[in-house]
Amino acid sequence: MSDLATRLSQLDAHLARFREGGIVNLINGQDVPGSGGSFETRSPVDDSLICAVSRSTAADVDAAAKAAKAAFPAWAAMDGTKRKAILHRIADLIVERAEEIALCECWDTGQAWRFMSKAALRGAENFRFFADQAPGARDGQTLHAPGQLNVTSRHPIGPVGVITPWNTPFMLSTWKIAPALAAGCTVVHKPAEFSPLTARVLSEICRDAGLPDGVLNLVNGFGEDAGKALTEHPDIKAIAFVGESKTGSMIMKQGADTLKRVHFELGGKNPVIVFEDAEIERALDAVVFMIYSLNGERCTSSSRLLVHDSIADDFHAKLEARVKNLKVGHPLDPATEIGPLIHKVHYDKVMSYVEIGKSEGATCRAGGSRVGEEGWFVRPTLFTDATPDMRIAQEEVFGPFLTSIRFKDDAEALSIANNVAYGLTGYLWTNDLTRALNFSDKLEAGMIWVNSENVRHLPTPFGGVKASGVGRDGGDWSFDFYMETKNTSFALGAHKIQRLGA
Protein backbone atom coordinates (compact mmCIF):
# COMPACT_ATOMS: atom_id res chain seq x y z
CA MET A 1 0.00 0.00 0.00
CA SER A 2 1.22 3.55 -0.70
CA ASP A 3 1.81 5.93 2.20
CA LEU A 4 -1.38 7.75 1.26
CA ALA A 5 -3.46 4.57 1.13
CA THR A 6 -2.09 3.45 4.49
CA ARG A 7 -2.89 6.78 6.10
CA LEU A 8 -6.38 6.80 4.60
CA SER A 9 -7.14 3.41 6.06
CA GLN A 10 -5.75 4.45 9.47
CA LEU A 11 -7.86 7.60 9.31
CA ASP A 12 -10.93 5.57 8.43
CA ALA A 13 -10.46 3.48 11.56
CA HIS A 14 -10.19 6.59 13.75
CA LEU A 15 -13.24 8.23 12.18
CA ALA A 16 -15.52 5.20 12.55
CA ARG A 17 -16.60 6.10 16.10
CA PHE A 18 -17.28 9.72 15.13
CA ARG A 19 -19.37 8.60 12.15
CA GLU A 20 -21.38 6.38 14.46
CA GLY A 21 -21.85 8.53 17.54
CA GLY A 22 -21.00 12.02 16.31
CA ILE A 23 -19.03 14.49 18.39
CA VAL A 24 -20.70 15.33 21.68
CA ASN A 25 -19.80 17.74 24.45
CA LEU A 26 -17.84 16.73 27.51
CA ILE A 27 -19.22 18.45 30.60
CA ASN A 28 -18.21 17.54 34.13
CA GLY A 29 -16.55 14.38 32.85
CA GLN A 30 -19.71 13.20 31.07
CA ASP A 31 -20.45 12.84 27.37
CA VAL A 32 -23.55 14.90 26.72
CA PRO A 33 -25.17 15.89 23.44
CA GLY A 34 -25.78 19.58 22.85
CA SER A 35 -29.36 20.67 23.40
CA GLY A 36 -29.52 22.53 20.08
CA GLY A 37 -29.40 19.41 17.91
CA SER A 38 -26.39 18.89 15.68
CA PHE A 39 -24.62 20.21 12.62
CA GLU A 40 -22.45 18.51 10.00
CA THR A 41 -18.70 18.81 9.71
CA ARG A 42 -17.24 18.13 6.26
CA SER A 43 -13.75 17.51 4.98
CA PRO A 44 -12.22 20.25 2.84
CA VAL A 45 -10.49 17.53 0.80
CA ASP A 46 -13.67 16.39 -0.98
CA ASP A 47 -16.50 18.06 0.92
CA SER A 48 -17.59 14.64 2.22
CA LEU A 49 -19.46 14.35 5.51
CA ILE A 50 -17.18 13.52 8.44
CA CYS A 51 -19.78 13.35 11.18
CA ALA A 52 -22.48 15.17 13.13
CA VAL A 53 -21.40 17.58 15.86
CA SER A 54 -23.38 18.73 18.88
CA ARG A 55 -24.81 22.18 18.53
CA SER A 56 -24.70 23.73 21.99
CA THR A 57 -27.04 26.37 23.31
CA ALA A 58 -26.71 28.86 26.16
CA ALA A 59 -28.13 26.16 28.46
CA ASP A 60 -25.24 23.79 27.62
CA VAL A 61 -22.73 26.57 28.13
CA ASP A 62 -24.36 27.32 31.48
CA ALA A 63 -23.98 23.67 32.53
CA ALA A 64 -20.32 23.71 31.47
CA ALA A 65 -19.63 26.99 33.27
CA LYS A 66 -21.31 25.68 36.44
CA ALA A 67 -19.19 22.51 36.26
CA ALA A 68 -16.06 24.63 35.83
CA LYS A 69 -17.10 26.80 38.78
CA ALA A 70 -17.74 23.80 41.01
CA ALA A 71 -14.41 22.20 40.10
CA PHE A 72 -12.43 25.40 40.55
CA PRO A 73 -11.78 25.50 44.34
CA ALA A 74 -10.25 22.02 44.53
CA TRP A 75 -8.23 22.39 41.33
CA ALA A 76 -6.94 25.82 42.37
CA ALA A 77 -5.99 24.53 45.81
CA MET A 78 -4.23 21.43 44.49
CA ASP A 79 -0.49 21.38 45.09
CA GLY A 80 1.27 22.66 41.98
CA THR A 81 3.43 19.55 41.80
CA LYS A 82 0.27 17.42 41.50
CA ARG A 83 -1.06 19.62 38.72
CA LYS A 84 2.34 19.31 37.07
CA ALA A 85 2.13 15.51 37.15
CA ILE A 86 -1.36 15.46 35.60
CA LEU A 87 -0.34 17.88 32.84
CA HIS A 88 2.70 15.73 32.03
CA ARG A 89 0.39 12.70 31.80
CA ILE A 90 -1.71 14.66 29.32
CA ALA A 91 1.45 15.35 27.28
CA ASP A 92 2.34 11.64 27.37
CA LEU A 93 -1.09 10.68 26.06
CA ILE A 94 -0.89 13.32 23.31
CA VAL A 95 2.36 11.72 22.17
CA GLU A 96 0.72 8.27 22.29
CA ARG A 97 -2.19 9.50 20.16
CA ALA A 98 -0.13 11.89 17.98
CA GLU A 99 -0.75 9.91 14.80
CA GLU A 100 -4.52 9.90 15.36
CA ILE A 101 -4.47 13.63 16.13
CA ALA A 102 -2.44 14.45 13.02
CA LEU A 103 -4.63 12.28 10.77
CA CYS A 104 -7.85 13.84 12.08
CA GLU A 105 -6.42 17.35 11.85
CA CYS A 106 -5.36 16.86 8.20
CA TRP A 107 -8.78 15.53 7.23
CA ASP A 108 -10.72 18.10 9.23
CA THR A 109 -8.73 21.19 8.22
CA GLY A 110 -6.95 20.33 4.95
CA GLN A 111 -3.50 20.94 6.43
CA ALA A 112 -0.64 18.84 5.07
CA TRP A 113 0.63 15.85 7.05
CA ARG A 114 4.22 17.16 7.00
CA PHE A 115 3.13 20.06 9.23
CA MET A 116 0.36 18.43 11.28
CA SER A 117 2.49 15.55 12.50
CA LYS A 118 4.72 18.18 14.13
CA ALA A 119 1.79 20.27 15.36
CA ALA A 120 0.47 17.33 17.40
CA LEU A 121 3.84 16.98 19.13
CA ARG A 122 4.06 20.73 19.68
CA GLY A 123 0.74 20.35 21.54
CA ALA A 124 2.44 17.92 23.92
CA GLU A 125 5.34 20.34 24.28
CA ASN A 126 2.91 23.11 25.27
CA PHE A 127 1.61 20.91 28.10
CA ARG A 128 5.11 19.94 29.25
CA PHE A 129 6.35 23.52 29.26
CA PHE A 130 3.47 24.85 31.36
CA ALA A 131 3.38 21.72 33.54
CA ASP A 132 6.91 22.53 34.64
CA GLN A 133 5.87 26.10 35.54
CA ALA A 134 2.84 25.00 37.61
CA PRO A 135 4.60 24.57 40.99
CA GLY A 136 5.98 28.13 40.86
CA ALA A 137 3.02 29.85 39.22
CA ARG A 138 1.78 31.36 42.49
CA ASP A 139 5.17 32.77 43.47
CA GLY A 140 5.40 36.49 43.94
CA GLN A 141 7.88 39.13 45.00
CA THR A 142 8.82 40.86 48.22
CA LEU A 143 9.04 44.62 47.84
CA HIS A 144 10.52 46.69 50.65
CA ALA A 145 9.29 50.16 51.49
CA PRO A 146 10.23 52.31 54.49
CA GLY A 147 8.58 50.54 57.45
CA GLN A 148 6.62 48.19 55.23
CA LEU A 149 7.24 44.84 53.64
CA ASN A 150 5.05 44.14 50.60
CA VAL A 151 4.52 40.56 49.56
CA THR A 152 2.84 39.70 46.26
CA SER A 153 1.25 36.41 45.40
CA ARG A 154 -0.67 35.15 42.40
CA HIS A 155 -4.00 33.37 42.41
CA PRO A 156 -5.85 31.70 39.53
CA ILE A 157 -8.57 34.04 38.26
CA GLY A 158 -11.33 31.38 38.22
CA PRO A 159 -13.11 29.45 35.47
CA VAL A 160 -12.09 30.75 32.05
CA GLY A 161 -13.42 30.40 28.51
CA VAL A 162 -11.13 29.39 25.66
CA ILE A 163 -12.40 30.04 22.12
CA THR A 164 -10.26 28.72 19.28
CA PRO A 165 -10.23 29.03 15.46
CA TRP A 166 -10.03 26.37 12.74
CA ASN A 167 -6.42 26.95 11.75
CA THR A 168 -4.04 24.51 13.51
CA PRO A 169 -6.80 24.00 16.08
CA PHE A 170 -5.09 21.30 18.16
CA MET A 171 -1.87 23.24 18.65
CA LEU A 172 -3.71 26.47 19.43
CA SER A 173 -6.09 24.78 21.89
CA THR A 174 -3.17 23.33 23.85
CA TRP A 175 -1.39 26.70 23.76
CA LYS A 176 -4.36 28.24 25.62
CA ILE A 177 -5.61 25.37 27.77
CA ALA A 178 -2.23 24.17 29.14
CA PRO A 179 -1.28 27.46 30.87
CA ALA A 180 -4.83 27.96 32.17
CA LEU A 181 -4.76 24.52 33.83
CA ALA A 182 -1.19 25.01 35.08
CA ALA A 183 -2.25 28.30 36.70
CA GLY A 184 -5.08 26.53 38.54
CA CYS A 185 -7.97 27.77 36.41
CA THR A 186 -10.76 25.54 35.18
CA VAL A 187 -11.78 25.79 31.53
CA VAL A 188 -14.74 25.76 29.18
CA HIS A 189 -13.45 25.24 25.64
CA LYS A 190 -15.47 26.20 22.56
CA PRO A 191 -13.59 25.00 19.47
CA ALA A 192 -14.26 26.28 15.96
CA GLU A 193 -17.30 24.74 14.32
CA PHE A 194 -15.23 23.89 11.21
CA SER A 195 -12.61 21.76 13.00
CA PRO A 196 -14.13 19.96 16.00
CA LEU A 197 -12.32 16.57 15.80
CA THR A 198 -9.09 17.12 17.70
CA ALA A 199 -10.70 19.26 20.42
CA ARG A 200 -12.79 16.21 21.25
CA VAL A 201 -9.67 14.01 21.29
CA LEU A 202 -7.91 16.50 23.59
CA SER A 203 -10.82 16.51 26.04
CA GLU A 204 -10.74 12.68 26.12
CA ILE A 205 -6.99 12.70 26.69
CA CYS A 206 -7.39 15.09 29.62
CA ARG A 207 -10.07 12.89 31.16
CA ASP A 208 -7.97 9.74 30.65
CA ALA A 209 -4.93 11.46 32.18
CA GLY A 210 -6.82 11.94 35.44
CA LEU A 211 -7.87 15.57 35.13
CA PRO A 212 -10.71 15.86 37.67
CA ASP A 213 -14.26 16.16 36.33
CA GLY A 214 -15.28 19.70 35.48
CA VAL A 215 -11.72 21.04 35.17
CA LEU A 216 -11.87 20.98 31.35
CA ASN A 217 -15.28 21.12 29.70
CA LEU A 218 -15.91 20.98 25.96
CA VAL A 219 -18.88 22.70 24.32
CA ASN A 220 -19.21 22.47 20.56
CA GLY A 221 -21.24 24.80 18.45
CA PHE A 222 -21.38 28.08 16.64
CA GLY A 223 -19.84 31.37 17.63
CA GLU A 224 -23.08 33.31 17.58
CA ASP A 225 -24.79 31.07 20.14
CA ALA A 226 -22.36 28.86 22.15
CA GLY A 227 -19.40 31.26 21.77
CA LYS A 228 -21.49 34.31 22.60
CA ALA A 229 -23.08 32.64 25.64
CA LEU A 230 -19.63 31.74 26.95
CA THR A 231 -18.37 35.31 26.66
CA GLU A 232 -21.46 36.59 28.48
CA HIS A 233 -21.53 34.04 31.29
CA PRO A 234 -21.11 35.62 34.74
CA ASP A 235 -19.16 32.65 36.17
CA ILE A 236 -16.52 32.86 33.44
CA LYS A 237 -13.89 35.33 34.59
CA ALA A 238 -11.76 35.63 31.45
CA ILE A 239 -11.85 34.78 27.76
CA ALA A 240 -8.78 33.66 25.84
CA PHE A 241 -9.68 34.03 22.18
CA VAL A 242 -7.88 33.29 18.94
CA GLY A 243 -9.58 34.32 15.73
CA GLU A 244 -10.50 37.22 13.51
CA SER A 245 -10.09 40.81 14.62
CA LYS A 246 -13.78 41.61 14.06
CA THR A 247 -14.79 38.66 16.25
CA GLY A 248 -12.44 39.94 18.96
CA SER A 249 -14.21 43.26 18.81
CA MET A 250 -17.62 41.53 19.21
CA ILE A 251 -16.33 39.50 22.16
CA MET A 252 -15.12 42.64 23.88
CA LYS A 253 -18.65 44.07 23.64
CA GLN A 254 -20.32 40.81 24.67
CA GLY A 255 -18.06 40.52 27.71
CA ALA A 256 -18.47 44.13 28.82
CA ASP A 257 -21.46 43.61 31.13
CA THR A 258 -19.63 40.96 33.14
CA LEU A 259 -16.30 42.87 33.01
CA LYS A 260 -14.48 40.01 31.34
CA ARG A 261 -10.72 40.00 31.20
CA VAL A 262 -9.84 39.29 27.58
CA HIS A 263 -6.80 38.03 25.76
CA PHE A 264 -6.92 38.22 21.97
CA GLU A 265 -4.73 36.70 19.29
CA LEU A 266 -6.16 38.13 16.09
CA GLY A 267 -5.40 38.63 12.41
CA GLY A 268 -2.28 39.83 10.64
CA LYS A 269 -0.87 41.25 7.42
CA ASN A 270 2.71 40.59 8.31
CA PRO A 271 5.58 42.06 6.30
CA VAL A 272 8.73 40.20 5.34
CA ILE A 273 11.26 42.84 4.35
CA VAL A 274 14.13 41.78 2.10
CA PHE A 275 16.84 44.45 2.00
CA GLU A 276 19.42 44.61 -0.80
CA ASP A 277 22.16 43.15 1.43
CA ALA A 278 20.14 40.07 2.43
CA GLU A 279 21.33 36.51 2.00
CA ILE A 280 19.04 35.92 -0.94
CA GLU A 281 18.68 32.14 -1.02
CA ARG A 282 17.85 31.86 2.69
CA ALA A 283 15.50 34.82 2.45
CA LEU A 284 13.78 33.10 -0.46
CA ASP A 285 13.37 29.89 1.55
CA ALA A 286 11.85 31.86 4.43
CA VAL A 287 9.54 33.94 2.25
CA VAL A 288 8.13 30.83 0.57
CA PHE A 289 7.86 28.90 3.82
CA MET A 290 6.18 31.66 5.83
CA ILE A 291 3.32 32.26 3.42
CA TYR A 292 2.75 28.91 1.72
CA SER A 293 3.21 26.49 4.63
CA LEU A 294 0.00 25.65 6.49
CA ASN A 295 -1.86 26.74 3.32
CA GLY A 296 -1.18 30.35 4.28
CA GLU A 297 -3.92 29.87 6.90
CA ARG A 298 -1.61 31.06 9.59
CA CYS A 299 -1.79 34.23 11.67
CA THR A 300 1.99 34.73 11.56
CA SER A 301 2.27 34.19 7.81
CA SER A 302 4.35 36.77 5.95
CA SER A 303 1.63 37.74 3.52
CA ARG A 304 3.32 40.98 2.38
CA LEU A 305 6.74 40.87 0.77
CA LEU A 306 8.56 44.20 0.77
CA VAL A 307 11.59 43.84 -1.49
CA HIS A 308 14.29 46.39 -2.30
CA ASP A 309 13.91 47.74 -5.82
CA SER A 310 17.51 46.90 -6.78
CA ILE A 311 17.00 43.16 -6.23
CA ALA A 312 13.26 42.91 -6.89
CA ASP A 313 13.39 41.62 -10.51
CA ASP A 314 15.77 38.81 -9.66
CA PHE A 315 13.98 37.96 -6.41
CA HIS A 316 10.57 37.87 -8.11
CA ALA A 317 11.84 35.58 -10.88
CA LYS A 318 13.25 33.12 -8.36
CA LEU A 319 10.13 33.36 -6.24
CA GLU A 320 7.84 32.73 -9.20
CA ALA A 321 9.75 29.55 -10.08
CA ARG A 322 9.52 28.30 -6.50
CA VAL A 323 5.81 29.12 -6.13
CA LYS A 324 4.95 27.35 -9.39
CA ASN A 325 6.80 24.29 -8.11
CA LEU A 326 4.89 23.96 -4.81
CA LYS A 327 3.14 20.62 -4.51
CA VAL A 328 -0.60 20.96 -4.04
CA GLY A 329 -2.29 17.72 -3.14
CA HIS A 330 -4.02 15.42 -0.71
CA PRO A 331 -3.08 16.48 2.82
CA LEU A 332 -2.27 12.91 3.83
CA ASP A 333 0.19 12.46 0.96
CA PRO A 334 3.65 12.91 2.49
CA ALA A 335 4.81 14.81 -0.61
CA THR A 336 2.08 17.45 -0.31
CA GLU A 337 3.11 20.98 0.61
CA ILE A 338 -0.27 22.66 0.21
CA GLY A 339 -3.69 21.15 0.92
CA PRO A 340 -7.22 22.47 0.45
CA LEU A 341 -8.58 25.55 2.22
CA ILE A 342 -10.87 24.99 5.17
CA HIS A 343 -14.28 25.45 3.52
CA LYS A 344 -16.08 26.88 0.53
CA VAL A 345 -16.79 30.28 2.04
CA HIS A 346 -13.11 30.72 2.79
CA TYR A 347 -12.16 29.40 -0.66
CA ASP A 348 -14.50 31.97 -2.22
CA LYS A 349 -12.96 34.71 -0.08
CA VAL A 350 -9.40 33.83 -1.11
CA MET A 351 -10.39 33.56 -4.79
CA SER A 352 -12.15 36.92 -4.60
CA TYR A 353 -8.80 38.50 -3.75
CA VAL A 354 -7.39 37.16 -7.03
CA GLU A 355 -9.97 39.24 -8.88
CA ILE A 356 -9.39 42.20 -6.56
CA GLY A 357 -5.61 42.03 -7.16
CA LYS A 358 -6.05 41.89 -10.92
CA SER A 359 -8.57 44.72 -10.98
CA GLU A 360 -6.28 46.84 -8.81
CA GLY A 361 -3.51 46.45 -11.40
CA ALA A 362 -1.02 44.18 -9.62
CA THR A 363 0.67 41.43 -11.66
CA CYS A 364 -0.45 37.85 -11.03
CA ARG A 365 2.80 35.93 -11.52
CA ALA A 366 1.61 32.54 -10.28
CA GLY A 367 -1.57 30.73 -9.30
CA GLY A 368 -4.89 32.48 -8.94
CA SER A 369 -6.93 29.44 -9.97
CA ARG A 370 -8.58 26.37 -8.54
CA VAL A 371 -6.84 23.00 -8.54
CA GLY A 372 -9.11 20.09 -9.54
CA GLU A 373 -12.86 20.03 -9.24
CA GLU A 374 -13.25 18.47 -5.84
CA GLY A 375 -12.33 20.08 -2.53
CA TRP A 376 -11.15 23.61 -1.91
CA PHE A 377 -7.68 23.55 -3.46
CA VAL A 378 -6.18 26.85 -4.60
CA ARG A 379 -3.04 27.13 -6.70
CA PRO A 380 -0.41 29.05 -4.69
CA THR A 381 -0.72 32.66 -5.75
CA LEU A 382 1.86 35.41 -6.17
CA PHE A 383 1.08 39.02 -6.98
CA THR A 384 4.00 41.37 -7.65
CA ASP A 385 4.30 45.10 -8.21
CA ALA A 386 1.44 45.89 -5.88
CA THR A 387 1.19 49.32 -4.30
CA PRO A 388 0.77 49.75 -0.53
CA ASP A 389 -2.78 51.12 -0.74
CA MET A 390 -4.22 48.16 -2.69
CA ARG A 391 -6.63 45.90 -0.82
CA ILE A 392 -4.37 42.90 -1.49
CA ALA A 393 -1.65 44.85 0.36
CA GLN A 394 -3.89 45.86 3.26
CA GLU A 395 -6.38 43.08 4.03
CA GLU A 396 -5.82 39.64 5.53
CA VAL A 397 -6.45 37.02 2.82
CA PHE A 398 -5.46 34.03 5.01
CA GLY A 399 -4.55 31.72 2.15
CA PRO A 400 -1.56 30.75 -0.02
CA PHE A 401 -1.48 34.26 -1.42
CA LEU A 402 1.54 36.58 -1.39
CA THR A 403 1.53 40.26 -2.29
CA SER A 404 4.89 41.81 -3.20
CA ILE A 405 5.64 45.54 -3.01
CA ARG A 406 8.91 47.27 -3.99
CA PHE A 407 10.66 49.87 -1.83
CA LYS A 408 13.59 52.23 -2.47
CA ASP A 409 14.96 52.91 1.02
CA ASP A 410 14.51 51.98 4.68
CA ALA A 411 12.22 54.94 5.42
CA GLU A 412 9.85 53.92 2.65
CA ALA A 413 9.95 50.27 3.74
CA LEU A 414 9.08 51.26 7.32
CA SER A 415 6.23 53.46 6.23
CA ILE A 416 4.76 50.70 4.03
CA ALA A 417 5.27 48.09 6.74
CA ASN A 418 3.50 50.15 9.41
CA ASN A 419 0.70 51.52 7.27
CA VAL A 420 -1.78 48.67 7.84
CA ALA A 421 -4.36 47.98 10.54
CA TYR A 422 -2.47 44.95 11.84
CA GLY A 423 0.77 44.46 13.78
CA LEU A 424 1.41 40.83 14.65
CA THR A 425 4.83 39.85 13.25
CA GLY A 426 7.59 41.19 11.02
CA TYR A 427 10.52 39.42 9.36
CA LEU A 428 13.69 41.31 8.43
CA TRP A 429 16.35 40.04 6.04
CA THR A 430 19.59 42.02 6.19
CA ASN A 431 23.18 41.40 7.17
CA ASP A 432 23.43 44.88 8.67
CA LEU A 433 22.62 44.49 12.38
CA THR A 434 22.41 48.22 13.06
CA ARG A 435 19.86 48.53 10.28
CA ALA A 436 17.90 45.59 11.71
CA LEU A 437 17.95 47.09 15.21
CA ASN A 438 16.81 50.51 14.05
CA PHE A 439 14.11 49.03 11.85
CA SER A 440 12.74 46.61 14.43
CA ASP A 441 12.66 49.41 17.02
CA LYS A 442 10.20 51.33 14.84
CA LEU A 443 8.28 48.44 13.30
CA GLU A 444 4.75 48.19 14.70
CA ALA A 445 4.61 44.49 15.51
CA GLY A 446 4.51 42.30 18.59
CA MET A 447 7.11 39.82 17.31
CA ILE A 448 9.99 40.33 14.93
CA TRP A 449 12.42 37.79 13.53
CA VAL A 450 15.71 38.85 11.93
CA ASN A 451 17.15 36.51 9.30
CA SER A 452 14.79 33.76 10.36
CA GLU A 453 11.39 32.28 9.77
CA ASN A 454 9.00 32.11 12.73
CA VAL A 455 10.88 30.02 15.28
CA ARG A 456 9.12 29.80 18.64
CA HIS A 457 10.80 29.63 22.01
CA LEU A 458 7.97 29.01 24.50
CA PRO A 459 9.22 31.32 27.29
CA THR A 460 9.17 34.33 24.92
CA PRO A 461 6.13 36.61 24.59
CA PHE A 462 3.66 35.91 21.77
CA GLY A 463 1.08 38.47 20.66
CA GLY A 464 0.32 41.43 18.46
CA VAL A 465 -0.30 45.17 18.49
CA LYS A 466 -3.02 47.26 16.81
CA ALA A 467 -5.76 45.04 15.28
CA SER A 468 -3.62 41.92 15.82
CA GLY A 469 -4.28 41.39 19.46
CA VAL A 470 -4.54 42.32 23.09
CA GLY A 471 -2.10 40.85 25.59
CA ARG A 472 0.76 38.38 25.44
CA ASP A 473 1.07 34.63 25.83
CA GLY A 474 4.14 32.55 26.46
CA GLY A 475 6.24 31.95 29.55
CA ASP A 476 5.12 33.94 32.53
CA TRP A 477 2.99 36.25 30.37
CA SER A 478 0.40 33.47 30.14
CA PHE A 479 0.19 33.30 33.94
CA ASP A 480 -0.26 37.07 34.13
CA PHE A 481 -3.44 36.60 32.15
CA TYR A 482 -4.84 33.56 33.94
CA MET A 483 -3.97 34.81 37.45
CA GLU A 484 -4.69 37.74 39.73
CA THR A 485 -1.79 39.38 41.55
CA LYS A 486 -2.41 40.23 45.21
CA ASN A 487 -0.27 42.53 47.34
CA THR A 488 -0.15 42.16 51.15
CA SER A 489 1.67 44.87 53.07
CA PHE A 490 3.14 44.17 56.55
CA ALA A 491 4.16 46.97 58.91
CA LEU A 492 7.71 46.33 60.07
CA GLY A 493 7.38 48.38 63.24
CA ALA A 494 4.87 50.25 65.32
CA HIS A 495 4.92 53.37 63.15
CA LYS A 496 2.77 56.32 64.10
CA ILE A 497 -0.65 56.31 62.46
CA GLN A 498 -2.50 59.59 62.01
CA ARG A 499 -4.99 59.76 64.87
CA LEU A 500 -8.39 61.08 63.81
CA GLY A 501 -11.32 61.87 66.09
CA ALA A 502 -9.21 61.69 69.24
Active site residue 185: no
Give residues in contact with ligand NAD (CB under 6 A): 163-167, 172, 190, 192-193, 222-224, 227-228, 231, 242-244, 247, 250-251, 254, 265-268, 299, 396, 398, 424, 464, 468-469
Contact 202/174 with Cβ under 8 angstroms? Answer: yes
Beta strands 401-407; 447-450: pairing state: unpaired
Which among 299, 337, 395, 396 is annotated as catalytic? 299
Q: Quick count: other Cβ atoms within 10 Å of Cβ 335?
A: 12
221 φψ region: left (φ > 0), alpha (ψ -120 to 50), beta (else)? left
Burial class (CB in 10 A: 0-12, 13-18, 19+), 323: buried
Position of minimal CB gap to ligand NAD: 223
Burial class (CB in 10 A: 0-12, 13-18, 19+), 465: middle
Q: Give the residue among 366, 398, 397 at the shortest CA–CA distance from 384.
A: 366
Q: State which residue, 216 or 278, has the beta carbon closest to ligand NAD.
A: 216
Q: State which residue, 140 or 477, has the beta carbon closest to ligand NAD.
A: 477
Residue 26 C-beta: closest distance to ligand NAD, Å:
16
Q: State which residue, 100 or 473, has the beta carbon closest to ligand NAD.
A: 473
Q: State which residue, 362 or 470, has the beta carbon closest to ligand NAD.
A: 470
Strand order in the sheet with 271-274: 363-366, 381-384, 401-407, 304-308, 271-274, 425-429, 447-450
Please give the C-alpha separations between residue 161 and each of 23, 190, 232, 247, 316, in angstroms, as whole numbers: 20, 8, 10, 15, 44
Active site residue 299: yes
Residue 447 C-beta: closest distance to ligand NAD, Å:
10
List, in sequence order, every residue forming a beta bridge with 491; answer none if it has no partner. Answer: 148
Residue 17 C-beta: closest distance to ligand NAD, Å:
23
Q: State which residue, 283 or 445, has the beta carbon closest to ligand NAD.
A: 445
Which among 105, 125, 193, 265 is annotated as catalytic? 265
List, in sequence order, every residue forming a beta bridge with 406; answer none if it has no partner. Answer: 307
Q: What residues are annotated to the active site?
A: 265, 299
